[in-house]
Amino acid sequence: MNQTPRGLNRLLLAVIGLVLLATGVLALGLAAFPGLAGWWRRTTQGAGTAVENLLAATTLPGQRDSWLWIVLALLMLLVVLAMITWIAQQGKGRAGTLAADDVDDGGPGMVSLSGAAAEQALKAALAEREDILHVTVATYEYRGTPGLKVRVLPRKGVAPQDLAEDISAQVEALDLVLGRRIPVVVSIGASARSRLGRGDRVH
Amino acid sequence: MTQTHYHELPDEQDASDRFRDSLAARELHSSRAAASIVAAVLVAGACLFVLLEALLKAIGQRAWLVDPRDAAAWVHQLPGSVPPLILGTAGLLILLAGLLFLLKALLPGRLHRHAIPARRGIVVVDDEVIASSLARRARTAANVSREQVLVAVSRNLVEVQLRPTSGTPVDEALIQGVVEDELLRTRIEPMPQVRVQVSSSGVVGQ
């Protein structure tokens, strides 16, 4: 549960993939079929003349080169900035505040609950268990709603449904403490330590 | 007053259900963040190069690596300007890279995980965890050691491979029943099919 723009990722990956695919097909075709060379020469000849004319038309008197180069440079700068923004969107969504009392009841001040309070309470409760090797709890915001993401790495052979049941109980206890129900996502996974470590333990 | 309340309640329920579903779907599918970062870095790198050459051209300096006009002429002469083998190989590599990105975008990108119903919150479990809990049940039922059982869980199939200890026969139907029972207890949806395979050769010294 984070704010990675998944639709945008798919869209941009598809566009970039298609462009690369088309370039590859073109290069492969030119290498494999010598008959295509004539068509390619004619097409690029036409495009080249058009670009030359455009460059000549946009060259200011007294200047050696067209001002289109500056436009191209600005365009490239924009694309680079867009790519940096795209990278920055990945995995975004960590939040600090879990809940805030935004009801204006006329009284001074407001109450806000830090995500760390719930994170540490849940983490401490789960870390005591023998069958769990590692717990991470983090607060994320998804569609404007803050929620908790719990990642649990249990020991090998632990029944996931029993673990889920116990975690549900802990989360319900947390609900009582916090006074409101927040979205919780629990992910039970395997780690290198649980893969290599001893699985058998008598409870 | 009562009527507005009556109308509001189901809407809110729907919205929270959709919220839950989309949260669960996000946990079960890849975000494609890694591929996106790779693609963004590639595009940004190419654009930076063009930016530099365009700037040099704009201020009337000599080109850094390739003059744009030379590059255009090279592309124009293409089948003749490079040996066909190199052109073909480069084309194939670019094609494969493009296909990789395109498939990454179009395929569903399911992670090896299952959602299990829980009283509170959304719970997803890696297939590996389910497999190791099934292996534990199968191992205790067959009375063999950990190395003799191999369980693989995929979206709609659970494969159990068991090598019995020499001289101690293992009932295949019993293992099948035990694994199915454990799988039922996890309540994963949809319930995968269970296939148990007890090998004919036994293991000595376990």
Domain boundary among B51, B81, B106: B106
Q: Which of B185, B183, B189 lies closest to B124, judged by CA?
A: B189
Phi, psi of A186 (to 5 degrees): -110, 130
Same domain, B140 and B101: no
Residues A115 and A191 in one domain: yes
Nearest CA in chain B to A152: B125
Any residues with CB less than 8 A from the CB of B181 and at least 6 apart, and which?
B137
Distance from CA of B8 to the nearest CA of A (A): 19
CB atoms B121 and A183 under 8 Å: yes
Asked if residue A42 belongs to a domain, the reply is: yes
- Report, as an integer, the average pLDDT of B45-65: 90
Last residue in a domain, options B106, B132, B165:
B106
Q: Which residues pair with A46 in a beta bridge?
A: none
**Nearest Cα residue to A160 out of B192, B116, B20:** B116
A113 to chain B nearest CA, in Å?
20
pLDDT band for position B6 (cuts 50, 70, 90)? very low
In a domain, A201, yes or no: no
Q: Which position has the higher pLDDT, A202 or A144?
A: A144
Residue B4: the pLDDT is 40
Query: What is the pLDDT at residue A26?
Result: 93
Overall domain count for chain B: 2
- pTM exceeding the 0.95 threshold for the entire prediction: no
In a domain, B182, yes or no: yes
The nearest alpha carbon in chain A to B81 belongs to A31
pLDDT tens for A10-45 read: 999 999 999 999 999 999 999 988 888 889 999 999
Answer yes or no: do A37 and B122 touch at CB < 8 A.
Answer: no
Least confident of A125-129, A167-171, B26-30: A125-129
- Domain with A175, as residue range(s), is 97-104+111-196
Would B171 be classed as within a structural domain? yes
Which residue type, as a one-letter code, is found at position B17? Answer: D
Q: Searching chain A, which residue's CA lies closest to the CA of residue B139?
A: A157
- DSSP H helical segments within chain A, as ranges? 6-32, 36-57, 68-89, 115-127, 160-178, 192-196
Higher pLDDT: B87 or B203? It is B87
Q: Which of A89, A123, A151 is the last residue of a domain?
A: A89
Say whether both B67 and B101 belong to one domain: yes
Task: Choose one of B72, B106, B140: the last residue of a domain.
Answer: B106
- Contacts of residue B78, Cβ cutoff 8 Å, sequence gap at least 6: A27, A30, A37, A40, A44, B87
For residue A145, list chain B residues with Cβ-Cβ distance below 8 A. 19
| pLDDT, tens digit (0-9, with 9 covering 90-100), for A124-157 | 998 888 888 889 999 999 888 889 999 999 988 8
Residues B80 and B127 in one domain: no
Q: Is residue A48 part of a domain?
A: yes
% of residues, chain A, pLDDT over 90: 48
Please compute the mean of the pLDDT values over residues A94-103 and round it to a whole number.
81
B116/A185 touch (CB, cutoff 8 Å), yes or no: no
Domain containing A118 — which CATH number? Answer: 3.30.70.1350
The structural domain count of chain A equals 2
**Confidence at residue A101, expressed as pLDDT on a 0 to 100 scale:** 74
Question: Is A32 within 8 Å of chain B by CB?
Answer: yes
